[in-house]
Structures are given as structure tokens and as C-alpha cells.
Chain A
Amino acid sequence: MENLLEIRNLKITTLRGKNTVRLLDKVDLSVKKKCSFGVVGESGCGKSITANAILGLLPYPLRVSEGSIRYDSKDGEKELLALSKKEMRAVRGQEISMIFQEPMTSLDPIFTVEMQMFEALSFHHPHMGKGEMRERALEMLRRVNIPRPEQTLSSYAHQLSGGQLQRIMIAIALINDPRLLLADEPTTALDVTIQAQILKLMNDLKEQNDTSIIMITHDLGVIAETCEEVAVFYAGQIVEQASVVELFQHTAHPYTLGLLRAVTSLGGESRKLYTIPGIVPPGGQWSQGCRFADRCEQCREQCRRAMPALREIAPGHLCRCFLHGEEVEA
């Protein structure tokens, strides 16, 4: 396989009463080896569920109704959606790890950090001795720049700060040298100064370990700092995808443009903070036409009648908008 991860035609549905409601619609994504891939969009666009689907962690009643997720594992290519529970457990934490938005609630409050780090090792190396596990855990804590790692090992979550906890979560996630790290809004719950430190840490670790990262965020600033490729999600679809440089220089989709305008920046003239009017339509309330039409400043009549196809408007730059071509989604 050329890519590390290939998602094809992924559809996710949920149950609302007795009705099946689509939450994710025909998503295609390819993550190259040793690459940081950004996924950006507002809440409820389907970013997180895509990441959860990769690890088979969708909460009931969400489920993958169609599609394929192929992954180039240490021992050959795998179709993640076809794995047995046991095979999937071997992938989780060892091949693909995940870190979450809320570091404060991501560690089990009643166990020590040490126990939870050892656990991550022992699930995949059942015969590893205590001494070796301790050494490995300390090494990881040092690598994520935790001061006083020995003391931290015997701490509980409530004794540590959010930034420290997210470092520990990263240490746990990387303890088995995974090839892919899914980072679901890893800095959203942190102070701005801590955010920058965590992003730098993730960048450094990625360089050292050749780990690919899928960075899920609603913050284009985070994407700019950490990613090479980016996909913009809107209402369960990809609306634009390109390299980060291309996306920022030749922004094509009105939604992406809106997101960019909504980024706060220091310096520059002071102005009222821009917001995109309206909210993301929830699953089940999507129109036939372009799903962004109701909030789009450049909406035309055509946009309400048919859905634009995701087409290549420049080499490696995909966009789903009639402003850049008349092709209609099949």
C-alpha cells in the first residue's frame, strides 16, 4: 500500500427513534506515511465520528453502514472494518492510538498514572516484566517533557494539571510506537500557552518516531502549525481538501473562507470578530442541494437544486462548490 490509511466511501448512520439518520456521507480520505493530516470543521460535521470509526469506537447506536478503511499495518494490509473484535484490540493502542479533547477526564480517576501506563503496555506485551514496563513508562514521560517523572507515575489524575494530563495521554498513546495517532481536538480544552507547547511536542514526536497524525480540530491555526494535508468537513461531507499551503493560499470553498475569516489574529487592524451566520444542519435535516447553501453568501439558485460534486480544481486540490465547476454529485 502506498498510503498508511485509506478511507473509501465511508458512511456512518445513527438511530433516531426508529429512523436511520446519516451522519457521515461518502467520505474518502488518504493519509500518507509520516504525514500529518488535518481534519477541520465545526462541531457536528462528522470529524470525531470518522476518527472513532477508524478504531471501531463508535458509541451505540452509531454504526458504519458502508465503506472501507484500509490500513497498512506492521504486518501487512488490513481492512479495519472487517477485523474481529480481538484483531481490532490488537490494532488499538499498538498500531493506531488516540488522544482526546478532555485530558481531565481521559484518565481513569481511581488508578495511578503508573497503572494506566503499564496497562497500555501489558495489553500488547503480556509477558513484559514490571521493571521493564517502569523503565519504558519513565522514558515516555521524559520524552513528553514531564518534570519529575517518578513522582508523576504514582500520581492520580486529580493531582495533575490539564497540560500535564494531555502530555501523559500522549505518552500513553505513543508507548507502543504506533504508526498512526488520532488526535481528537487535543488542545481545545487547554490554555493557549499550553496549547502551543502540546502542538510543538506532537510535532517533535512525529519527527522522532515517524508517526502519522490525524489532527481533528475546529481551529485552522492548529492545522497551519501542525499539518501538511487538510480536509474541511461540513455536514458529514468533505467540502474541500488540499495541502495546507494550497488551502491557505488558494482557498476555494466559501465555507473554508468563512472559517479563515473567523480566525482571530493578533496584530492587524481591530475589527468585529467574523462569524459564519447560522449553524451546521444536523444529520437528517440536510437539503438536497449544497448543504452549505443556507449559510453561504454566494449562494445561487442552482445550489439549492443539486449538490455539487467534489472535484479537482487544481492538482491535489478538491472542492465541492458550483463556483468552481458545474459538476453535480451523482
Chain B
Amino acid sequence: MRDYIIRRLLTLIPILIGVSIAIFIVMQLIPGDVVSGILGIEETPELRAMWEAKLGLDKPLIQQYFSWIGKALTGDFGESFRTGAPVFPEIMNRFKISAELALLACVIAWIIALPLGILSSLKRNSIIDRIVRVVALLGVSVPNFASATLLILFLSKTFNYYTPVKYVGLFENFGTNMEIMLLPAFILGSVMAGSVMRMTRSSMLEVLRQDYIKAVRAKGAPERVTIFRHAFKNSSIPIVTLIGMQIGGLMGGTVVIEQIFSIPGLGQFTLTGITQRDFPVVQGCVLFIAFLYVVINLLVDILYTYIDPRISYS
């Protein structure tokens, strides 16, 4: 197992190098650059040359890339072209916010999706099952920017709610933080819940048909043991896979939702970086997100071995 984890972590190296090259090329291809953003209408050839020299943009592309990656290997992700602030600490600050949002969304999604998915599979083709399936389909198919704006509109009209302007950290003021985070978490969670519910239902239906479920019942098992200990645990592998992929996506920040609810998360940071052509910010964010994905997938794969003894990596 330890060897397996080490091997998997080693694959991070080519993945991250590949991602960094791709981002570097894409950033070159999109029109506009950071200097014209900084200078605006006051741009003159002299000022431009001065800034390019200052940011190192006057050097050949290859050299730019290698000087960046060389520093990145030592853990220095450089400074933002725009603010001059070091990128890495800012990513960590933003990540904490995105991670909180992601975890809240997951908890909300699980609270909704797992019980309803299980119930739906047990009461197959009943009214409950039909309602759950329609709700799940809505959750999956309504885009979150639509449901988010509609929800804000509805809440502001009826309860005089407004989206907070200034973000307040979890440890500064728990109550205010929850006020800010719960709504976007609910929106994200409801989308997640839709697909988790569908996966739970279909996976449970598959397992409930198995012989060993009947055998467990034939031993005289109470329904709750049959359903949770045997059926749910056996159907959890595809659910865990799905949830792992979703967490990976959410942890990296959610551009649209963070934008709508003005939450200063990783998604918002990345977006600002892109619009300002702030290369070190974009490169840092994207690499960090890629890293998260790989690590979360690894955690999911390790989790499999705890669920199913047939899976082993040694």
C-alpha cells in the first residue's frame, strides 16, 4: 500500500509539468497581455518596455517558462504581476474559503441525496420514487447560475435578503460566515445531490437484486441491517467515485457561484487572474487545482480498499 501511494504521488510530476506547459501556451495564445492591462490608455512604448523588463516578459518564451518552473520547484510560485503579492499564500487563503464552501455543499448534498436515494430504491416505482427521480433530474439539469440568481431574486423579494458584500471568515464570526456560505453551498449541494441521488438509487437497485441480499434476509436479518450494512455498503463504490470527482471539482473553486455570491475563493481568484492576464496567478491556481484532483482521486482509490476487500494495490 505504501509503495502504491508513493507511485501514485510520483505520477503527479509528469501531470503537473504537462498542465503547466499547457497553461503557459494557452496564456500566450489569448489576446491581450498584462502590461496593457496595467497601463491602460497611458501606454507608451517606453513605459511598456520598462514594465516588460520589470516582469521578465522581454525574455524569450522558453526562458520565461523555465525561470518560472525553476522557482516553482523550490516552492516559490512567484508574485502577482498586478499586486506584487506572493501567489502561494494567497492561493492558500482562497483555498480555505473554497474548501469550506465545498465541504458545506457536500454535507448538504449527502444529507439530501443519500437517504432519498436509498428510500427511492426501496420504494421502487412508488409515488415517493417518482417524486425523488423528478427532483433529482431537476437538480442535475438546472444550471447552477440559473438556480442561484433565481434563489437570490426570490429571497430578496420575499425576505429582503441581500448577498453580503464583504466576506467574513469562519473563525472571525461563525454566524455571519454561515449567512454568507449557506446559500451558495445549498445551490452547489443541490446540483451534487441530484447526481448522487441518481447514482445511489441505481447502485442500490443493482445490489438489492443480488443473491447475498436474499441470503441475508433468509438468515433473519432486520431490514435496517440488510439495507445499511449489506446493500448500502456494497453499492457505495460508484457513489464514492462520483463524490470524489465532485469534491475535486468543488475544492478547486467554483467560478460562477463564487462570482454570483461574491465569495473570494479560488475560482474567483483564477478568473481575475485570467482576465488580467496575470500569468503567475493563473499558473499557480491551475497547478494547485490539478494537484488537488490527483490527491483526492488517490484518497478515493485508497478508500475503495476499505470498502471492498477484493480491491488491493499491493
**Is the pair A92, B217 in contact by a Cβ cutoff of 8 Å?**
yes
**Is the pair B219, A123 in contact by a Cβ cutoff of 8 Å?**
yes
Q: Which residue of A lies closest to B124 (CB)?
A: A60
User: In the complex where A107-B212, A109-B212, A110-B233 touch, is A158 in contact with B218 (Cβ < 8 A)?
Assistant: no
Contacts of A98 in B (CB 8 A): 215, 218
Contacts of A97 in B (CB 8 A): 218-219
**Is the pair A57, B214 in contact by a Cβ cutoff of 8 Å?**
yes
B280: shortest Cβ distance to chain A, in Å? Answer: 47
User: In the complex where A109-B310, A110-B234, A123-B222 touch, is A57 in contact with B211 (Cβ < 8 A)?
Assistant: no
Q: Which residue of B lies closest to A124 (CB)?
A: B220
**Is the pair A123, B234 in contact by a Cβ cutoff of 8 Å?**
no
Contacts of B307 in A (CB 8 A): 110
Q: Does B173 contact A (CB under 8 A)?
A: no
Q: Does A80 contact B (CB under 8 A)?
A: no
**Is the pair A55, B221 in contact by a Cβ cutoff of 8 Å?**
no
Q: Does A290 contact B (CB under 8 A)?
A: no
User: In the complex where A60-B124, A102-B211 touch, is A109 in contact with B234 (Cβ < 8 A)?
Assistant: yes
CB-contacts of A53-111 with B (<8 A):
55, 57, 59-60, 85, 89-94, 97-98, 100-102, 105-111
Q: Which residue of B lies closest to A121 (CB)?
A: B219
Contacts of A225 in B (CB 8 A): none
State in angstroms the CA–CA spacing of A57 and B215 once bound together: 10
B216: shortest Cβ distance to chain A, in Å? Answer: 7
Contact with A along B285-314 (1 / 0, CB 8 A): 000000000000000000000011110000
**Is the pair A93, B210 in contact by a Cβ cutoff of 8 Å?**
no
Prevailing SS type, chain B contact patch: helix
**Is the pair B214, A93 in contact by a Cβ cutoff of 8 Å?**
no
**Is the pair B234, A93 in contact by a Cβ cutoff of 8 Å?**
no
Q: Does A119 contact B (CB under 8 A)?
A: yes
Q: Which of A101, A110, A172 contacts B308 (CB 8 A)?
A: A110
| Tier of interface size on chain B | 20 to 34
B228: shortest Cβ distance to chain A, in Å? Answer: 13
State in angstroms the CA–CA spacing of A105 and B217 once bound together: 14
Q: Does B48 contact A (CB under 8 A)?
A: no
**Is the pair B218, A57 in contact by a Cβ cutoff of 8 Å?**
yes
User: In the complex where A98-B218, A172-B219 touch, is A156 in contact with B309 (Cβ < 8 A)?
Assistant: yes
Q: Which of A59, A89, A102, A156 contacts B221 (CB 8 A)?
A: A89
Q: Does B82 contact A (CB under 8 A)?
A: no
Q: Does A169 contact B (CB under 8 A)?
A: yes
Q: Does B96 contact A (CB under 8 A)?
A: no
**Is the pair B308, A107 in contact by a Cβ cutoff of 8 Å?**
no
CB-contacts of B58-85 with A (<8 A):
none
Contacts of B211 in A (CB 8 A): 100-102, 105-106
Q: Does A280 contact B (CB under 8 A)?
A: no
State in angstroms the CA–CA spacing of A55 and B215 once bound together: 11
Contacts of B308 in A (CB 8 A): 109-110
State in angstroms the CA–CA spacing of A124 and B225 once bound together: 13
CB-contacts of B216-253 with A (<8 A):
216-223, 225, 230, 233-234
State in angstroms the CA–CA spacing of A295 and B84 once bound together: 90
Contact with B along A150-172 (1 / 0, CB 8 A): 00000010100000000001001
**Is the pair B230, A108 in contact by a Cβ cutoff of 8 Å?**
yes
User: In the complex where A105-B210, A109-B234, A110-B234 touch, is A100 in contact with B222 (Cβ < 8 A)?
Assistant: no
**Is the pair B218, A92 in contact by a Cβ cutoff of 8 Å?**
yes
Q: Which of A60, A92, A108, A158 contacts B212 (CB 8 A)?
A: A108
B311: shortest Cβ distance to chain A, in Å? Answer: 10
**Is the pair A119, B309 in contact by a Cβ cutoff of 8 Å?**
no
A106: shortest Cβ distance to chain B, in Å? Answer: 5
User: In the complex where A105-B210, A105-B211, A106-B212 touch, is A90 in contact with B220 (Cβ < 8 A)?
Assistant: yes
Residue with the highest number of chain A CB atoms closer than 10 Å, among B212, B216, B220, B230: B220
Contacts of B310 in A (CB 8 A): 109-110, 156, 158
Q: Does A231 contact B (CB under 8 A)?
A: no
Q: Which residue of B lies closest to A97 (CB)?
A: B218
**Is the pair A91, B220 in contact by a Cβ cutoff of 8 Å?**
yes
Q: Does A12 contact B (CB under 8 A)?
A: no
Q: Does A120 contact B (CB under 8 A)?
A: yes
Contacts of A120 in B (CB 8 A): 219-220
**Is the pair B218, A93 in contact by a Cβ cutoff of 8 Å?**
yes
- Nearest 9 CB-CB pairings of A with B: A93-B220, A92-B220, A93-B219, A105-B211, A98-B218, A123-B220, A108-B212, A120-B219, A106-B215
Chain B residues packing against A (C-beta within 8 Å): 124, 209-212, 214-223, 225, 230, 233-234, 307-310
- Would you give 5 A-B contacts (Cβ < 8 Å), ordered by A? A57-B217, A57-B218, A85-B223, A109-B308, A119-B225
